[in-house]
A and B are shown apart, each in its own frame.
Chain A
Amino acid sequence: MNEKKRMNKAKMVPVPSKAIIPERDIDKAPILECSHLGIDFGGLRAVDDFNLTIGRTEIAGLIGPNGAGKTTVFNLLTKVYQPTRGTILLDGMDTAGKTTAQINHMGIARTFQNIRLFSNMTVMENILVGLHKEMTYNALTGILRLPAFFRSERIARERAMELLSIFGMEDTADAVAGSLPYGAQRRLEILRALATNPSLLLLDEPAAGMNPSETAELMENIVKIRDTFNIAVLLIEHDMNLVMGICEGIVVLNFGQVIAKGTAEEIQSNPTVIEAYLGKQQ
């Protein structure tokens, strides 16, 4: 019973929300606040003095040349690396000393630059792993096949189908994840992250390897996900059409340091950013 209640509370039918989302709600109650975040690898300062605030329903972009430290920032936020300096507040709570799994329970879900699916498992099973913590029966209940097992599995499968319907992937539910085309794998990874019911979604180069029409569709979908689930999105991307098109706030990183922050227009005309990408004008 308790289980069912939990499921209903978190029920996520993908219908576009009518609520008007404030363009920049950073200052009210940010979901994420990093201050003076930094990590050293030996003598190398991979990221230094990184400050970032993301609003509750903001789509934010993290850009920068190759090797700037963007993915390292994601790894710091999800505690794949423990930061050397600085603090990360998620929904006002300090994440110091937490593990990657605990961070996910606190509300950060992510995708990876090089896709990391459970490639020998089916699409459905991948989503079900994402829904793992929503299912509360223990291993013994599973072994003994008690009624709680069937109830929980049925609810989870229905919800997985709902999630798959966001990208129209219901037909591929039984396919082995590793056999999916590249674009579908990227979409599945996003869905798996969404299944964990996050309040902040980190997307690491979601448009990598996609053609312009797929990218356009992805842009729509990212906005749709934000509107449907009412969550914040932070994305790393090299496709400037995508970043400038949907990101409300953009942070530019170079050599592990923030060189610019602002809206798309501000970033596009910022001389430091242009220099970082194109080099100094002679």
Chain B
Amino acid sequence: MKTKKLTLNKNTRMNFVTYGVVIVAYVILQTMVTTGSISSSLKGMLVPICAYVVMAVSLNLTVGVLGELSLGHAGFMSVGAFTGVTAALALQGVVASGPLRLLIGMAVGAVFAAIAGVLIGIPVLRLKGDYLAIVTLAFGEIIKSLINNLYVGVDGSGLHFSILTNKMAMDEIGRIIINGPMGITTIEKLSTFTAGFLLVMVTLIIVFNLVNSRSGRAFMAIRDNRIAAESVGLNVVKYRLMAFVTSAALAGAAGTLFAMNYSTIIANKFDFNTSILILVFVVLGGLGNMLGSIIAAAALTILPEMLRSLQDYRMLIYAIILILVMLVTNNAQLKSLFSRIIPHKKEAADNE
């Protein structure tokens, strides 16, 4: 009975450390913002960092916990961004409160991304490994092309849609929201650092509580051994879809948050490179390690900006740092060195 309690504590302890780190980081940064002791470039990155943190944590659910490589995570972000912003803009005259419009936008973004997750998940989750990765990659590209050719407008009678060319017949008060390859050009900047922080917290609560429940154990069981998972009666398709759709929904909300931080947004922003960037956050932070994902997402978003003074050498240095960090964090000798310096890390190092 004693050991049972210990398991619970060990899991929850790590989760509370993560919550704590996020809250402390928020308090410090928010204080810096109010006192004006933060550089303007860093201040501008606070919301994108929050969005990328949510993206990394949600992708970690698919890649680290469920064990499936998804290369189309930016696709879900894109779906969430465009549907969420459209909803927020369409409600401009209806809902007065800005934060409430942002909340509705994120909810709509999450719902549409979840629907996209179900649609793509049903065929894709019948595949395994590389095939799944390839199809999710294609999904990301399809979404990009689709939105590049999508026209959405709103007028007195409601929303209008058109594809390939702008064929929308709107009355005189009508305005275009999504303008094909131009994207959305009339976004009102509703995203705030506080909103981003809250989304990160909600994401963490959802992911941690899901992972530490029967559903999360099912995800990990399927990851570790699919045949054995089936043999103990797990509905493999159901749980893979559940993890995949949860991940997609969170990415959708993050997409809305991200887009509402700029005045314009285009579909090409959410391309294959973005998917890979998020995957890099996850791999660098450690598969299944949410705190790692958060730190990696924040650090790798700030790093290119900090290297801006190096101009042409910027991406070169960025790549070298990335490689070095990966080498160092996977080095057994360095790990044991860390464990000697920081005693409580010893346990973790021994487990690996």
Contacts and interface: CB of A to CB of B under 8 A. Distances in A.
Contacts of A149: 213
Contacts of A161: 1, 4
Contacts of B213: 137, 139, 142-143, 149, 153
A122 B221 contact: no
Contact of B220 (A80, A121, A145, A193): A121
Nearest to B243: A139
Given A139-B213, A157-B4, A99 B230 contact: yes
Interface string B238-261: 000010000000000000000000
A-B residue pairs, 3 tightest by C-beta: A142-B213, A104-B233, A116-B228
B6 A174 contact: yes
A234 to B, nearest CB: 14
Given A100-B230, A110-B231, A196-B233, A173 B215 contact: no
Given A117-B228, A142-B209, A101 B351 contact: no
A68 to B, nearest CB: 21
Contacts of A144: 209
27 contacts: A80-B227, A80-B230, A99-B230, A100-B227, A100-B230, A101-B234, A110-B231, A112-B228, A112-B231, A116-B225, A117-B228, A118-B225, A121-B224, A122-B7, A129-B221, A132-B217, A139-B242, A142-B212, A142-B216, A143-B205, A143-B206, A143-B213, A161-B1, A170-B3, A173-B4, A174-B10, A195-B232
Given A99-B230, A104-B231, A143-B213, A129 B3 contact: no
B3 to A, nearest CB: 5
Given A118-B221, A157-B4, A145 B231 contact: no
A147 to B, nearest CB: 14
B217 A121 contact: yes
Contacts of B224: 117-121
A111 to B, nearest CB: 9
Nearest to A128: B217
Chain A: number of interface residues, binned into ranges:
35 or more
B230 A142 contact: no
Contacts of A99: 230
A132 B232 contact: yes
Given A118-B228, A132-B233, A173 B7 contact: yes
A149 B8 CA distance: 14
A9 to B, nearest CB: 17
Contacts of B3: 170-171, 173-174
B7 A174 contact: yes
B230 A116 contact: no
Contacts of A143: 205-206, 209-210, 213
A87 B151 CA distance: 57
Contacts of A145: 209
Interface string A28-65: 00000000000000000000000000000000000000
Interface of A is mostly: helix
A120 to B, nearest CB: 5
Interface in A12-29: none
Contacts of A11: none
Interface string B325-352: 0000000000000000000000000010
A142 B232 contact: no
A135 interface: yes
Contacts of B228: 112, 116-118, 192
Given A121-B224, A143-B209, A135 B214 contact: yes
A112 B351 CA distance: 25
Interface string B287-306: 00000000000000000000
A4 interface: no
B45 interface: no
B229 interface: yes
Contact of B217 (A101, A125, A152, A195): A125
B74 interface: no
Contacts of B216: 142
A132 B233 CA distance: 8
B232 A109 contact: yes
B218 A129 contact: yes
Contacts of A196: 232-233
Most buried by A among B4, B206, B214, B224: B214
A139 B242 CA distance: 9
Contact of B234 (A129, A139, A142): A129
Contacts of A122: 7
Contact of A101 (B205, B210, B233): B233
Interface string B150-180: 0000000000000000000000000000000
A258 interface: no
A128 B1 CA distance: 15
A78 interface: yes
Candidate in B10, B229, B231, B235 with the most chain A CB atoms within 10 angstroms: B231
Nearest to A178: B224
A250 interface: no
A148 to B, nearest CB: 11
B236 interface: yes
